[in-house]
Amino acid sequence: MQRRTLLKAFSLAAAAGLYLPLPLSAQTAATPRRGGVLKLALLGLDTADPHRHSGSIAVQQVYVETLTSIGDDGTAKPFLAERFEVSEDGKTYTFHLRNNVRFHNGRVMTAKDVQANLERVRDKVKSGWLSGAMKMVQSMDSSDPATLRVVMSETYAPFLSLLSELWIVAPESEGWDTTIRKPIGTGPFTFGQWQPNVRFSAPAFKQYWQAGLPYLDAVEFDLRGEQDNSLSLRAGDIDVAYVRSDKIAALRGDKVDVQFLGDTAWYFLSFNNRKPRALMQDPRVRQAIALAVDKRSYMNFIGGSDALTSNQPVRPKSFYWDEAIEARDLYAKPDLDKARSLLQAAGVDPTQQTLKVISWQNDYAQVAVQMVRQLGFKIDHQALDDIGAQRALSAYDWDLAPFNSGPRADVYLRYARLLSDGPSPMLWGGIQDKELDTLIASAVASPNPTLARQRYLDAWQHVLDKLYTVGIGHASDVIGVAARVRGYRTGFTWSQNRVDGGLARTWIAA
Amino acid sequence: MSSHSASIMSAPQRPAPRFRLHWLAYGVVGLSLLVAVFGAALLTQDPLAQNLLARNLGPSAAHWLGTDSFGRDIAARLVAGTRLTLVVAFLASLLALLGGAGLGLIGCIVGGKTRALVYAGFDIVRTMPPILLSLALMVALGVGTSSVILAVGIAFMPLFAYVARAVYEREMASGYVAAAKVIGAGPWAIACRHVLPNMLGAMLTQVAIVLPRAVTTESVLSFFGLGVAPEVPTWGRIIATSVEFAEQAPTSLLFPVLALALLTLSLAVVGDRVRMHLDPLRAERQETAHA
Amino acid sequence: MHDAKNVLGFSLRQVFKVLCIAFAIFLLVRAVPGDIADMYEARGDYDAQQLEALRASLGLHDSLVQQFGRWGWNGLHGDLGESMRFGASVSDMVLGALPTSLLLAGSSLAVGLLLGFSLAVAALAFPNSRLGGWIESLNIWSIAVPTFCTGILGILAFSVWLKWLPIRGQLLLPILIVGIDVAGQIVKPLYEELKETAQAPFVRTARAKGLSRWRIAWRHMLPNSLSVIVALSGVILGGLVGGTLTVEALFGLPGIGSLALEAIRGRDYPVIQAAVMALAGFVVLVNVLTAALHRYIDPRLARGHQE
Amino acid sequence: MNTPLLNISNLDVRYGAKLVVKALSLQIRAGEAVGVIGESGSGKSMTALAILGLLPPEATVTGSIRYRDAELNGMDEKGLRALRGRRIAMIFQDPMSSLNPLMTVGAQIVEALRAHVAIDAAQAGARAAALLEEVGLALPDTQLRRYPFELSGGQQQRVMIAMALACEPELLIADEPTTALDVSTQAQVLALLRKIQRARGMAMLFVSHDLDAVTAIVDRVAVMRSGELLECGPVNEVMSAPRHPYTRSLLDARPVAIERVQNARTTTERPAIELTGVCLEYTHGRQRRRVVHEVSLKVPEGAALGIVGESGSGKSTLARAIMGMLTPASGKVTVLGHDPADRARRLAFARECQFVFQDTSGSLNPRRTIAQALAEPQQIHGRDTPTAVARRSAELLHEVGMDAALLARYPHQLSGGQRQRVVIARALANDPRILVCDEPVSALDASVRAQVLALIAGLRRERALTLVFIGHDLGVMQSVAEKTLVLQGGRVIEYGDTHDIFSAPKQPYTQALMAAGSNARGQKDTTARETGHHPIFALPCPTYA
């Protein structure tokens, strides 16, 4: 049972490093009250087709569910599958489905339905997070309605984690062959009214497989929730919402509870790696810029004293983090003098150079810009919206890009974008490095977590050596929860309906 | 004559003497210009320098007008931002004036289909509210100072175009234009000699209105993340940045808004005065008002 | 007869204008760099091959004339297509946004008119009071203070501190804020107009007849100022629907302006076109209504009197 | 009845520091018609407005205005309101703007009635109809439903009078009631006012700048200048033996034939201006309105032709066609052998043929000095050295009898007469051969009128100009034109030697124009009805000489 041990090791690792027990109030003691509509403002909803979702996953879990679910400890746990088994070679997965799962149209979910979903993703959604995994699916078998067997061509460690984002929809849903308009899922709430960019409401599903759940009559999402919602929380017209960490004090002052996501968002400053101009090809210039970044102040600005500095893409003290690499960080502390002498050595007069910086419109980008400007560079800062930034980045005529990357279901997802053919590699400067590709591929195919950890770290050391990006630190996204809300707990990622928590168990106090 | 300003609501009364506000207005506008030109020399603090340990502070000896959410000195930013603010507002207004009134006037002078076409264009531009139009233009043009000037300028063009047309029609109906035609003056000569000078007053009024509106429009662009680069201190950007922290640091919002309101008021007053001075009839108006 | 013909001609010209606007918008929208496929690429869920397929399926490879023709033809059949970004029905999205925008714009205009008119009348009635200064201040306020400043202060005061009103799901505060802004924009021209009417010779005649103030104001001044009020309202209303973006953003209101802006940002062509067409159609409708009202108010226009 | 109905004593009206009426005292007895005469700015209208408290709020009134036993100056609005319309009624100069454009005539009269008299709507309507009948409007019931813009100027003023009479006031103040009307209408309105005043035994204060109008209608006359009352007395006394020199000058300035124009020798038979079957139309959208029908005429070089007619007769339109500002719908206009509307000859034409505008304040750009106004034609026609231009401008001013020092002035700093001279000087700048004058003296005060007419006549003689002179006053023609053409409704109805037409008009319309323009006003009360459409006579093509 080598695979078993592997999983256990992963979980242990996660539990040891990733999971921070949250301060829970004594809310669990009371008997849950039924009824009421919970209002949320988290991220948006891009599409009604759960297989075509493009990133933000805070909304759709309430009406569609998955075989696995990322638990509070960051590991994949059985969800619609009652349990799963992995063969010793790590290539064959057997999912034993629950027998009481009903779709919103009342039909009982079978293995055939699940297989249809996997096939749809494999055939119709050729890119995205799941594409790499689905390419390796060799065959599927659903002859037993309660069992699905998936055979992979190679060992693929992130598979179970990635399945936590492969939503199971009834194939009879409208638009199955093209784009699903009205998904028929299995979640505690059904796909109700959707007004893109405005609001989404989901009434409770009475035949939900977890008997007695959900408590709420409905949930309603404000889909413009990506900005700070602290005022709405304090005014009392929203119950659960994303807030900025610098509003925490004001929220607590108004009796709004504050929770943090389990996994952190990673903050970094990338160089243009695909087409760097001559100036930026000089490692001394990159080093000088890295030395200008005051990681502590930067992370303080983002998340206060709770935020952590790090040169690595995973949270410090977690399984895939390495203390030694952290200790060797040449840029742990800012050193402007050294940076200037590096520039001098490189024969660069920063006052004669204009660096083009691309960012989203996040405030921290201004902090990054100002830190680099301290060296004397002139800065042309373009703060852009989604598409604007995308276009500007993929032109590769820029120099620096301060960005962040949200919580991820698997460590692989942190590394995927460093691949030459990874999804949307612009944020990391479009690295094209065969050696790095090989290192990451070997990590993915590792038979055990220790080896996987070592190979991921090797890959990261390679990134550090090349100074493709400057890792700055980690901070958890913050969610404000109104005082009347009971039973709500944030998860490891943004997911709002999970194996061990979420909106199904949330209720509203009288 | 419109000399009877009879108020039907009240018994005849003497008008109250008005406070001579215009000197104050000249002062404010003059000061703004001085700050715009020499502001950089006055600065003791770097308007871009962040002090992440001194964010959202109220006024103090170290920071007269407090600090913003990056710990930047509001006073320094206001002073440093005056130049770019005025330059953007001025160039945008100028663009609106030249593009709107200029194009409109040329269309009017050429007349016929050209005129119809030009104004059909303005009609189309006008169907979109200026704010939405400038936001859309910013998306199309990409962010940056020149885009802001273009976006705001284009959005305000119809305003000038319609005023230009109204003035042109009024002037063309006047006796002296008829007289000029009889003398043998061509349409362009008439436009230069009679229409243009008489249009100046109306245009000046519009500019005095559009100038501050350009600043607020720029701040709305910033509010939607589509203005100048985020750290660049323009008044609009300062206001937009401070709005999010209106509760923690009310002064960082109050002072820039006050500055803008004061400048707006002053521009309106100065615009009125300049227009009055441009008008050789003012002496007569003042007299006939009492005749 | 003759009048009806005029009105019909005017309306037809307006419809033609809408068509021109439609085409202009169609071209402009496509002039914006980037398309929806870029958007998907930005999210990283599609590869190059898929993006091309997506563009093809959305008809983005066809010529602009073809695209316009298809859009126009379908539009005439009441099918505005689907959002390229959300796959939702565009008509639903636009119809969902219109009520909020119309209600907000209409009520704000009403509040603004009421406030502006009262202030202007009061200032006329008491020429020696400080009301003239108030008019000036209100005007400067509306020019210099962006509505998002007043909006955030309103939210802080009434929703966060006093907790009298929620931020979302109410229109009272947005209407008041936009209404005050509208009042600031119209109070000065309104005051000037009323003042001019007050000086009109026929008002002097009415006084010479020995009529009471209120009769003069109600029967003589108001009808004669109404044309200007209507014209002013038309212009303001045209700018308000779709122009209340900041307030919509602050109060989470799903207005047509926000819809258009988000669509522009997301290069969601069908939605941009439909939203902007709705705005243009509304502006044209307001023009037609204004013209009709003018004719109703002024018998000179209705009877085809020239000059 | 020794106490006057209205007793004004020591009345001062001030605007700020400016005294516009100075220590004026005037009495009006019941049933008496008193006239106040003076030129614009003399304070006569201010006095009239002061009586009813209708002056603008910035005016201050001191002194006493007693109506019977009540002091009007300082009386509250409520008290004044009870008097206005009921005891003292008023009619104004411009009936078009003095009537509410958006209310029917009937509603406005009924409103005046019901403001003071408690009667129901039906009664009020009947009363309004009776009033309209009294002021000589046909079909009163139809008229009641009409809006002011649907009436002619004369009809509008009749409505104003009916409205003023509604509550049978004891005193009627008429503030320049005929100034804005056509000459022929003026006479009718005056006659009507006189008839009604006599018939009702109502007192009347008649304010006007028109000496003839005043003398025709009032018992006593007061003469005002610059806010002061110069003299006051029975109308016959003042007319026959004016005591104040100003009154004398007013009397002298009356347009009687100043000087018979010697027949200018026509150098050639070649017509300077030739119109053949010219029809002129105004188009508004798709509508066309024909304002001049088939006019043919010839003016030889060096001759002077007068064109008369009331407003709307098409005389100004005809002038515009001669100037090429309007292309005829049919027919042909030839000026000095060319089509004046030929754009290619625009400059050449402008040198040959010039136009003198009627509205002097409008035809001079208020923002340009006299020097600039005079320089404009010179610059257009190629004289561009500043000194040459300046010298020529000074010459021109001198030629029209003005001082070169006035070059730096703006139009508003000149008097009406001076402005008219400037307009003439501008027309002369390039030594034209033809001068078309469109009512050049109509807007001028009587005393100035004669001087400007003399100037035009003199210039014509000196420069051997071909002159087309447009006016509404037949009397004026006598002093400038040898031949006169009478236009009505866009058709030529009479044409011939000016002297002959003046002494023996053939057409009733010409007679009416004569009656209105001459001092025969007030003699007959008979022309109460509006001038109807006169039969149109087909005339042979009037050819000069």
User: Does A418 map to a domain?
Assistant: yes
Q: Is the pLDDT of residue B50 over 60?
A: yes
Phi/psi for D231 (5° steps) reads: -155, 160
How far apart are the two ends of chain C, measured CA to CA in Å? 20
Mark yes or no for CB contact C39/A197 under 8 Å.
Answer: no
| Mean pLDDT calculated for residue range C62-77 | 80
Mark yes or no for CB contact D325/B178 under 8 Å.
Answer: yes
Query: CB within 8 A of A423, min separation 6: which ones?
Result: A127, A128, A129, A131, A416, A417, C44, C45
Share of chain D above pLDDT 90, in %: 14
Both A158 and A272 in one domain: the answer is: no
Residue A492 lies in domain:
38-256+482-508
Give B-chain residues touching A246 at CB under 8 angstroms. 55, 69
The amino acid sitting at D290 is R
- In this prediction, residue C4 carries a pLDDT of 61
How far apart are the two ends of chain A, measured CA to CA in Å? 50
The amino acid sitting at A43 is L
- Tell me which chains share at least 3 CB pairs under 8 Å with chain B: A, C, D
Q: Is the pLDDT of residue B12 over 50?
A: no
Cα distance from C63 to chain A (closest Cα, Å)?
23
The number of domains in chain B is: 1
Among B8, B135, B263, beta carbon nearest to C217: B8
Q: Is the pLDDT of residue D262 over 50?
A: no
Give D-chain residues touching B197 at CB under 8 angstroms. 367-368
Report d(CA A106, CA B130) in Å as an integer: 51
Cα distance from C152 to chain B (closest Cα, Å)?
7
- Structure tokens given for C14: 């307006």
Mark yes or no for CB contact C199/D56 under 8 Å.
Answer: yes
Chains D and A touch (3+ CB pairs under 8 A): no
Cα distance from C299 to chain D (closest Cα, Å)?
7
User: Does B133 map to a domain?
Assistant: yes
Both A182 and A240 in one domain: the answer is: yes
B237 interfaces chain C, CB cutoff of 8 Å: no
How many Cβ pairs closer than 8 A exist between chain B and D? 110
Q: Is the pLDDT of residue C202 over 50?
A: yes
User: Does A7 map to a domain?
Assistant: no
Burial of D540 per CB tally in 10 Å (0-12, 13-18, 19+): exposed
Both A297 and A158 in one domain: the answer is: no
Q: Is the pLDDT of residue A18 over 70?
A: no
Report d(CA B199, CA B106) in Å as an integer: 13
Residue B208 lies in domain:
35-40+60-280
Report d(CA B246, CA A220) in Å as an integer: 28
Among D56, D81, D97, beta carbon nearest to C202: D97
Nearest to D304 by CA among D448, D109, D460: D460
User: Does A188 map to a domain?
Assistant: yes
How large is the ipTM?
A: 0.81
Both A425 and A439 in one domain: the answer is: yes
Among A46, A55, A385, beta carbon nearest to C265: A385
Query: CB within 8 A of A51, min separation 6: which ones?
Result: A117, A120, A121, A124, A125, A166, A167, A169, A180
User: Does A205 map to a domain?
Assistant: yes
Nearest to D310 by CA among D98, D66, D78, D517: D517
Report d(CA C41, CA C43) in Å as an integer: 5
Nearest to D14 by CA among D59, D56, D53, D52: D59
Share of chain A above pLDDT 70, in %: 93
Strand pairing of D353-356 and D434-438? parallel
- In this prediction, residue B260 carries a pLDDT of 87
Burial of D503 per CB tally in 10 Å (0-12, 13-18, 19+): exposed
- In this prediction, residue C44 carries a pLDDT of 53
Count Cβ neighbours within 10 Å for each residue of B168-190 and write b for 16 or more, e otherwise. Answer: beebbebbbbbbbbbbbbebebb
A146 interfaces chain B, CB cutoff of 8 Å: no
User: Does B222 map to a domain?
Assistant: yes
Both A247 and A334 in one domain: the answer is: no
CA dihedral D211, D214, D217, D223 (to 10 degrees): -120
The residue count for chain B: 291
- pTM of the entire predicted model: 0.83
CATH label of the domain that carries residue A284: 3.10.105.10
Neighbours of D458 (CB within 10 A): 14
Mark yes or no for CB contact C143/B139 under 8 Å.
Answer: no
- In this prediction, residue B289 carries a pLDDT of 39
Give A-chain residues touching C44 at CB under 8 angstroms. 54-55, 127-128, 417, 423-424
Mark yes or no for CB contact C211/D89 under 8 Å.
Answer: no
Both A108 and A125 in one domain: the answer is: yes
Report d(CA D444, CA D39) in Å as an integer: 10
Mark yes or no for CB contact C205/D98 under 8 Å.
Answer: yes
The number of domains in chain A is: 2
Query: CB within 8 A of D545, min separation 6: which ones?
Result: D266, D269, D300, D303, D483
Query: CB within 8 A of B215, min separation 6: which ones?
Result: B85, B88, B89, B234, B235, B236, B260, B263, C144
Higher-pLDDT residue of C176 and C131 is C176
- Structure tokens given for D439: 């009512």
Q: Is the pLDDT of residue B19 over 70?
A: no
Count how many Cα atoms sit within 13 Å of the Cα of residue A159 in the half-sphere of its side chain: 28
Both A385 and A425 in one domain: the answer is: yes
Reported as a single tens digit per residue, the pLDDT across B249-266 is 888 889 998 988 888 888
- Structure tokens given for C155: 């939210």
- What number of H helices and E strands is found in chain A? 16, 25
- Tell me which chains share at least 3 CB pairs under 8 Å with chain A: B, C
B181 interfaces chain D, CB cutoff of 8 Å: yes
- In this prediction, residue D523 carries a pLDDT of 34
Where do the CATH 3.40.50.300 domains begin and end in chain D?
271-520
| Mean pLDDT calculated for residue range B163-186 | 86
Give B-chain residues touching A377 at CB under 8 angstroms. none
- In this prediction, residue A128 carries a pLDDT of 65
Q: Is the dihedral of CA C159, C163, C164, C166 positive or negative?
A: positive
Count how many Cα atoms sit within 13 Å of the Cα of residue A49 in the half-sphere of its side chain: 23
Strand pairing of A240-243 and A37-41? parallel
User: Does A68 map to a domain?
Assistant: yes
CATH label of the domain that carries residue B234: 1.10.3720.10
Nearest to D179 by CA among D78, D292, D95: D95
Mark yes or no for CB contact D325/B182 under 8 Å.
Answer: yes
Q: Is the dihedral of CA D465, D466, D470, D476 positive or negative?
A: positive
Both A388 and A498 in one domain: the answer is: no
Mark yes or no for CB contact B175/D362 under 8 Å.
Answer: yes
Helix (H) or strand (E) holding B285: helix B282-288
How many Cβ pairs closer than 8 A exist between chain C and D? 86
Strand pairing of D483-488 and D304-308? parallel
Query: CB within 8 A of A68, min separation 6: which ones?
Result: A76, A77, A78, A79, A81, A84, A160, A161, A163, A164
CATH label of the domain that carries residue A47: 3.40.190.10
| Mean pLDDT calculated for residue range D286-310 | 83
Nearest to D333 by CA among D345, D343, D320, D314: D320
Both A252 and A311 in one domain: the answer is: no
Q: How confident is the model at residue C130 (pLDDT cuts 50, 70, 90)?
A: confident
Nearest CA in chain C to A224: C252
- In this prediction, residue B290 carries a pLDDT of 39
Give D-chain residues touching B289 at CB under 8 angstroms. 15, 58
Q: Is the pLDDT of residue D447 over 80?
A: no
- Tell me which chains share at least 3 CB pairs under 8 Å with chain D: B, C
- In this prediction, residue B3 carries a pLDDT of 36
- In this prediction, residue D259 carries a pLDDT of 45
Mark yes or no for CB contact A55/C47 under 8 Å.
Answer: no
Chains C and B touch (3+ CB pairs under 8 A): yes
User: Does A239 map to a domain?
Assistant: yes
Residues within 8 A of C (CB atoms), B 109-138 only: 120, 123-124, 126-132, 135-136
Both A114 and A219 in one domain: the answer is: yes
Q: Is the peptide bond before A203 cis (omega within 30 degrees of 0)?
A: no
Reported as a single tens digit per residue, the pLDDT across D329-366 is 888 888 888 888 888 888 888 888 998 887 666 788 88
User: Does A312 map to a domain?
Assistant: yes
Nearest CA in chain C to B16: C128
Give C-chain residues touching B263 at CB under 8 angstroms. 144
Please give the angle made by the CA atoms of B12, B13 and B19, to the nearest 5 degrees. Answer: 145
Interface of C with A (CB under 8 A): 33-34, 38-47, 49-50, 83, 85-88, 93, 96-97, 155-156, 159-160, 163, 165-169, 249, 252, 254, 258-259, 262, 265-267
Of A134-138, C32-36, C124-128, the poorest mean pLDDT is in C32-36
Among B8, B123, B139, beta carbon nearest to C264: B139
Q: Is the pLDDT of residue C78 over 80?
A: no
Both A195 and A338 in one domain: the answer is: no
The CATH code belonging to domain D271-520 is 3.40.50.300
Q: Is the pLDDT of residue C239 over 90?
A: no
Mark yes or no for CB contact C249/B224 under 8 Å.
Answer: yes
Mark yes or no for CB contact A228/B244 under 8 Å.
Answer: yes
Nearest to D530 by CA among D105, D125, D182, D147: D182
Among A250, A366, A385, beta carbon nearest to B70: A366
- Structure tokens given for B187: 């349409």
- In this prediction, residue C303 carries a pLDDT of 65
- Structure tokens given for A18: 């990733």
Cα distance from A232 to chain C (closest Cα, Å)?
6
User: Does A5 map to a domain?
Assistant: no
Q: Is the pLDDT of residue B26 over 70?
A: yes
Both A456 and A486 in one domain: the answer is: no
Of A5-14, A128-137, B127-136, B213-222, the poorest mean pLDDT is in A5-14
Mark yes or no for CB contact C210/D150 under 8 Å.
Answer: no
Helix (H) or strand (E) holding D351: helix D346-352
Report d(CA A425, CA A405) in Å as an integer: 12
Strand pairing of D466-471 and D287-300? unpaired
